[in-house]
Amino acid sequence: MSERMAYFQGQFMPLSEAKIGIMTHAFLYGTACFEGLRGNWNQDDGTLYLFRTKEHYQRLRRSSMILGIKLAPSDDELCDITAELVARAGFTEDVYIRPIAYKSEEAIGPRMHDVADDFLCFVIPFGNYLDDQGIRCMTSTWRRVDDLGIPARAKVNGLYINSALAKTEALENGFDEAIMLDDRGHVSEGSGENIFIVRDGKLITPPPSDNILEGITRDSVITIAHDEFGIPTVERSIDRSELYVADECFMTGTAAHLTAVIEVDRRTIGSGLPGDVTKRLHGRYYDAMHGREEKYAKWLLPVKPQVAGRQGVKA
């Protein structure tokens, strides 16, 4: 039987039993950083494929270093914890895994020093986050946070109020997702996704200097575009109006996978349907993350869900 599970205070337990106190520093001040990982279920071989697990933990460690949070387990240990957690949960469907490095002490006062640290992780079932057939976006009135305010290249829990405000604004105005500009008016990213446009056969995407999160799915798509289709990627600043005249547009992220953008600010992008480049990249990425592309097996951590009376974690 499948169950939502957590790894909390060094133990595996049902998610319902993993509790923090209301004075926990991370709850009071957002003093935590996190990752989001996908486990993609392949019915044919009965395996959940965790996508680029080690790279996610390497980024979590970098985020922790920026914030001054001590992440005690090694990257390999974190991968092993995650694989066992997913196996114990027993899900035979797509899942989402949320690891968090956080200030765990019950303490008053906004600071990063002299406060105890800990690590937790949980897994839940998780289907499509955005519509596979394409989404409608608006450019948000909320600007993407600047690195001088909150480190943009770290996945800081408290930073995501920026994303929440932009996402809610978009939904309340009848759109599916927000696109945030940076403090100079350049396109930065969505509320939880990186953004690409296609022009003249090239992918164009904002550079890290435009306050984007350096996305792992973003990097995967750039790799697939180059290796599989010979499509180059240009990292440069993008103006808002350039979105309107793009041949194609799409977003990438752990939750979103690769999702076509078919409208921005009520302007149709291309034909108003997912474009050819977007569809080709989506297809190859989808096969890679489900363990159907041997070339990209190095990106995957296969896990066999446990069933009653059977142990074993990694496939």
pLDDT tens-digit series, residues 20-46: 999 999 999 999 999 999 999 999 999
CA distance linking residue 278 with residue 42, whole number of Å? 23
The per-residue pLDDT for 132 is 80
| Residues designated catalytic | 155
Task: For residue range 108-125, list pLDDT tens digits in order.
Answer: 999 999 999 999 999 999
The per-residue pLDDT for 268 is 98
pLDDT higher than 80, residue 310: no
Task: For residue range 49-63, list pLDDT tens digits in order.
Answer: 999 999 999 999 999
Give bridge partners of residue 198 from the DSSP assignment: 203, 248
Give the predicted TM-score (pTM) of the model: 0.94
Stretch (H or E) spanning 193: none
Residue 150: CA count within 13 A, CB half-sphere = 21
Residue 161 pLDDT level (bands cut at 50, 70, 90): very high
Domains of the chain listed by start with CATH number: 5-127+296-303 (3.30.470.10), 135-274 (3.20.10.10)
> Which has the minimum average pLDDT: 97-106, 259-268, 288-297, 303-312?
303-312
How far, in Å, are 48, 53, 98, 108, 309 from residue 37 at the CA level? 12, 7, 6, 31, 27
Tokens, residue 259: 């999702």
